[in-house]
Amino acid sequence: MMTKVAVVLSGSGFLDGAEIQESVITMLSLDRAGVSYQCMAPDIEQLHVVNHLTGEVSEGERRNVLVEAARIARTNVIDIALANPNEFDAVIFPGGYGAAKNLSDFAVKGADSTVQTDVLQFARAFAATGKPMGFVCISPTLIPHIYGADASLTIGSDADTATAINEMGGIHVNCPVEDFVVDEERRIVSTPAYMLDVRISEAATGIEKLVNKVIEMTNGK
């Protein structure tokens, strides 16, 4: 039976949704490995909409996270509230500020953040199966909410974000863009990607390694 991975998106566009390059690299890496995937996102309104040309918030504009995620998914994308964790062998969260604005409120509340209800319910249920999860860029800030205290993870080397993660009970490990951190006990893999100021090829190397490690872990290695 073919391995199937859930890819959790948070909109479309790195300033207010899923980082498009990270998301596409994740899906491409899965496909190249012969692994099927299902994109999903919460059916909720975004925190806000950002004009990616100017970097400014577009006052009065509203967008839906699931609708925007469909722009990246290209294929069928489902509401995470309807997803069955038992149907997947692994889960990967690409980054982008949407992970910290829509999937959680980390961008606003930092160490006092919470995770969106449907996302948290799915992620905790999946974590309980003992199967692996991968987290890219800023999305590792979700890990302490999902797994509790003492999970090892990385967002690269940003001191402020690392401090917030440690305050939340996580154990931050500095990591270069082309590498990843593994919490073997909890079966978690994380990589910095665009949390660091890097080229797309450098981000791709780390993401591809993460994807391959997650697939390896689905095979019991």
Residue 137 is a catalytic residue: yes
Q: Which of 15, 115, 137, 211 is catalytic?
A: 137
Phi, psi of 75, deg, nearest 5: -90, -170
**Length of the chain in residues, anyone?**
221
CA 31/CA 23 separation, integer angstroms: 12
Write out the catalytic residue numbers: 137
